[in-house]
Amino acid sequence: MIKLENIHRNFQVGEQTVHALDNINLEISKGEYLSVMGPSGSGKSTLLNLLGLLDRPSSGNYYLDNQDTTQLDEEQLAAKRNRYIGFVFQTFHLIPRLTAAENIELPLVLAGVDEKIRKQKVAAALQSMRLANRAEHKPQQLSGGQRQRVAIARATITNPAILLADEPTGNLDQKSGLNVVETLEQLNDKGITLIVVTHDAALGSRARRAIRMLDGRIESDSQQDSTNAGA
């Protein structure tokens, strides 16, 4: 599904070149549950943006479904993001003026999906996220956990192959955080490739495969017990 080959990502900060990613080689199969951990500045967010096609490597190749994405132009990358990738952010990034249903609908609107089909899919997503009675609520009328579930519904409405979560529980209390993690894991059970970037050791340890990063390199890459017992 995902294959990174000799990926470098350099940033120019003043006169210094910062190696945010330093020769990353990584393969991720379909349906994996992967956590990326590491201290601040270790390059995990850069890796996530790169995997999500929001950023391009300075050198190296990124194959997504056997296609080299480094050859694609802006338009094609946007289309790939829409089809393959779902993002879940720490701060939810819901549009405050839109209702929960409208926020969830947005990726389908951008993709030009027919309105009838959109409404059906949104209704189904609201149902499965237990948000059916919150459809017409604006984000500020929702709790943190509900907001993140709206964001997850939005991220998965286009049936993406990969779900990228950047500290998905970072702004939530423990109970709703757990609730959100379980929701993500249920999606993984149904076949979505789940990649979670986190500081939180407890959250990181729930994944079947854990990557630790340090100074732009992959320090360790290990399989773990997937008993979901870490939390």
- Tell me, residue by residue from 81 to 110, as one string, x for binding to another protein by CB under 8 A and - for no binding: xxx-x-x-xxx-x-xxxx---x---xx-xx
Query: And the tokens for 7?
Result: 């990926």
Work out which of 54, 117, 124, 201 binds another protein, going by CB under 8 A. 54
Measured from the CB atom, the residue of 164 and 187 that comes closer to another protein is: 164
CB-based contacts of 150, cutoff 8 Å, min separation 6: 92, 94, 100, 103, 104, 129, 131, 134, 139, 142
Chain centre distance of CA 73:
22
> Minimal distance in Å, beta carbon 105 to another protein?
9
> Minimal distance in Å, beta carbon 129 to another protein?
17
Measured from the CB atom, the residue of 88 and 210 that comes closer to another protein is: 88
- Across the beta sheet with 85-88, what order do the strands follow? 85-88, 162-166, 193-198, 33-37, 209-214, 217-223
Measured from the CB atom, the residue of 11 and 219 that comes closer to another protein is: 11
Work out which of 75, 191, 223, 227 binds another protein, going by CB under 8 A. 75
Measured from the CB atom, the residue of 156 and 176 that comes closer to another protein is: 156
Q: Contacts with another protein: how many residues (CB under 8 A)?
A: 32
> Minimal distance in Å, beta carbon 157 to another protein?
9
Locus of tokens 């990584």? 26
Measured from the CB atom, the residue of 17 and 29 that comes closer to another protein is: 17
Work out which of 15, 16, 40, 74 binds another protein, going by CB under 8 A. 74
Beta pairing, strands 2-13 & 59-64: antiparallel
Residues 138-197 within binding reach of another protein (CB under 8 A): 154, 158
CB-based contacts of 190, cutoff 8 Å, min separation 6: none
Residues 24-53 within binding reach of another protein (CB under 8 A): 49, 52
Measured from the CB atom, the residue of 85 and 187 that comes closer to another protein is: 85
Indicate the burial class of 77 (C-beta count within 10 angstroms; 0-12, 13-18, 19 or more).
Answer: middle
Judge whether 32 and 194 are in contact, CB under 8 Å.
yes
Quickly list DSSP for 127-183: HHTT-GGGTT--GGGS-HHHHHHHHHHHHHTT--SEEEEESTTTTS-HHHHHHHHHH
Residues that bind another protein (CB under 8 A): 49, 52, 54-55, 74-75, 77-79, 81-83, 85, 87, 89-91, 93, 95-98, 102, 106-107, 109-112, 115, 154, 158
